[in-house]
Every structure is written in structure tokens, then in C-alpha cells.
Structure 1
Amino acid sequence: MNDSYVDKVLIVEGKSDKNKVKNIVKEPVEIICTNGTISHSKMEELIDFLEDKDVYILVDADDSGEKLRKRFKREFPHAEHLYIDRMYREVATAPEHHLAMVLLGANIDVHTEFLEMS
């Protein structure tokens, strides 16, 4: 986790999700990758780190993503949950335009070129 202060934190599952989202986001946002699962100790560490931040959860639209989402709903009831369309299933394979619209809907600033349909 980054030492420089950012007030928005986006939690994703995989490294490919993180890389895709990082290219779209325009403002400083800490992107934390869970690698699909998260240990109890790592969750405790996150709870302390995320205490005073705006937390956004963006996970895949599949069973493992939903399991992770339920856990975050329990541990971070104030987190905002972002959803990709189920037809894309994975954040990493969702079109950049779709992800940009999802992020923009959560008041996360995105690069405008991703808002244009190609």
C-alpha cells in the first residue's frame, strides 16, 4: 500500500484488473489487488489502512467475485460497490468504455478518451 495519501481506494481482484483500471482512471486512486482472495491478517491490515478513505469495490461478475464482495460488505459496510455488466464477467475483459462509465458513475475521474465509443 502506498505511503502517499490518497482519499480514494479501489479494490480489485487481479493484477490484470488493476492494470486495466489504472489506465482509465485520471485522478490519484490507490488500487489494491486481492489476487482473488484475502487472508484474515491482510483483511485486518486493510481495515486499519482504509479507515478514513472512500472505498470502492470492483470485482468480477462471477462466483469468486461475489464471494469476495460479500466479505467486503461485511468488513466495510460503507464501501461503494461498483458492478460491471454480467455479460462481461471479468473486469479485465470488460471494454474500457464500459469500465470508464462505471467508474465515472462513482465520481471517479477518468480519461475522456475512454468515454467515447470506438
Structure 2
Amino acid sequence: MKFKMILSSVKPDITDNIVDSAKAAGATGATIIPARGTGIREAKTFFGLTLEAQTDIIMFLVEEHLVDKILAAIKEAGQFHKPGTGIAFVLPVEQVAGLESQLDEFKKRVKETYF
């Protein structure tokens, strides 16, 4: 079974919506990491202090065959067509440990999808 990692950087106020949409599209869970960041639109300053935008990094470890559907759901839920709303990208996963308790469910879902 092959997996991919979807990483998404979004504003904290839409994190729950992103996670809910991804789960509806087939993701089984998510890890959310609070972060700070800056992008093409430079951080604002206030009395000489830089105010960095708060962001959440959402990580989804998903089965390879679900990536396109989940990524599309994330993009739509996050309204990524609007400037400054967020990004998402996919990384390859070479090996996975710790999913043994979920393997039966993964195998069942693959059979339902393809057979």
C-alpha cells in the first residue's frame, strides 16, 4: 500500500473546515501544527515590530489513490483561488510505521474502491 503526505498551510480560522472537507473526501485524520509565516505579501509592522501571520500546518497521511480527491476538497474548502488564503502540496512517502492497527481498514477500503 502506498501513501502520500498532503501538507497545507492555512489561516487558523479555516483549519477545521479544511480538515472536515478532507475527511469527507477520504482522509482518515490530520495533524495540526501551529506556526508563523510570511509570504509574498510581506508581514505588517507596528512601531518597528514585525507582525507575522499566524498559520496552521495541516498534515494528512493518505492513501495514494485518494490524493487527487482530497487535494481538490482542501483547495475548494480553503478557497485557494483567492490571494493569501493558503497553499497545499503533496510529498512522496517512502515508508510508514505505526499504522498496523489501521491496515485492515485500509485494505477493506481498497477492496471497496476497486472491486
TM norm structure 1: 0.28
Normalized per residue, the structure richer in strand is 2
Normalized per residue, the structure richer in helix is 1
More contact order relative to length (CA 8 Å, sep ≥ 6) = 2
TM norm structure 2: 0.29
